[in-house]
Structure 1
């Protein structure tokens, strides 16, 4: 099965399950971040469609004085992260995804990343744009960034098809366990 077919299949599966269980263990994620993060700069995603919600996690990290940043998609499939807090406004980008305003650019030491599918080797199947893979490649030259993928256990597959530009996660957290 190619990546396009796999994305379509897993999207349907996730869509069915996310309505029933759209929660993640925020405490497990915070504990992992506190252990592994180089600083308090966290890159998150604002949930879109059937993605796992990060809203509660954002609130809890903000209370613990972490610096939250969200991605902004620039031209040429490039992505950067900008600071944001839950009480600040957002704007809608060309894909219909909420983004912060370009005020303070941040280089996160920990990235919380959405995914369509994953395997036990910590490979991630994204949406096909390569935004996160390019961003990770760019910041890996500057610092050691901890990459945490969020998914439901139903998104686990035997083997994610991997290309030369695909980046592995350091951890994948589901509602049932942490893969490392």
Structure 2
């Protein structure tokens, strides 16, 4: 299956999973995600997060635990991270909430990463524009960065092809488990 078909398949699976959740269950799972990922966040100085859109798993409960954090902002072909509060976010590229350009730019040492699909070894399938791969590569050139993919269990793929420019995730967190992908590489 090509990446376009895989993206379609995993978007549909994610949408169906979220749509089938009983009332209140989504929030309970996202709260549990914050509990599951907590051991990986003990030494975080500055985390980069994201504003979930639609049926993406929402990191809000994680953000509440870690204190000040940053959100991505599209800057040409790249994303950069600005420390901001939710109340400061405004619709940006593709109507995704992003911080103002005037917010302080930061370099996260932990990055919470959205995804469409991921393998247990940390190969990630994103939206296809490479923003997070380029951002993670740039951050890692500056300092060590722990990249944690956030996913529903239905987004765990048995295999995905990694392109040379794809940046591997270090960990995957779902509401059910925390996987250290570095152990399987």
Q: Same fold per TM (> 0.5)?
A: yes
Q: Which runs of 5+ in 1 are unaligned?
A: none
**Cα separation, 2, equivalents of 1:173 and 1:150:** 5
**Cα separation, 2, equivalents of 1:4 and 1:26:** 31
Correspondence for 1:122: 122
**CA shift digits 1:5-25 (9 cap, x unpaired):** 000011000011123253332
* More divergent stretch after superposition (106-115 vs 21-30): 21-30
Correspondence for 1:147: 147
TM-score normalised to structure 2 length = 0.87
Q: Whose helix proportion is higher, 1 or 2?
A: 2
The alignment status of 1:90 with 2:89, answered yes or no, reads yes
Give the deviation of 1:84 after TM superposition.
Answer: 1.1
Give the deviation of 1:121 after TM superposition.
Answer: 1.3
Contact 1:43 1:108 in 2 (8 A): yes
The alignment status of 1:27 with 2:27, answered yes or no, reads no
Contact 1:151 1:174 in 2 (8 A): yes
**Cα separation, 2, equivalents of 1:28 and 1:162:** 26
Correspondence for 1:48: 53
Contact 1:69 1:82 in 2 (8 A): yes
Contact 1:91 1:98 in 2 (8 A): yes
**CA shift digits 1:88-140 (9 cap, x unpaired):** 32111131100011220010000000110011211111110100000111111
The alignment status of 1:81 with 2:89, answered yes or no, reads no
TM-score normalised to structure 1 length = 0.90
Q: What is the root-mean-square deviation in Å for CA atoms of aligned residues?
A: 1.3
Q: Which runs of 5+ in 2 are unaligned?
A: 181-185
Give the deviation of 1:70 after TM superposition.
Answer: 0.1
Give the deviation of 1:57 after TM superposition.
Answer: 1.8
**Cα separation, 2, equivalents of 1:12 and 1:106:** 34
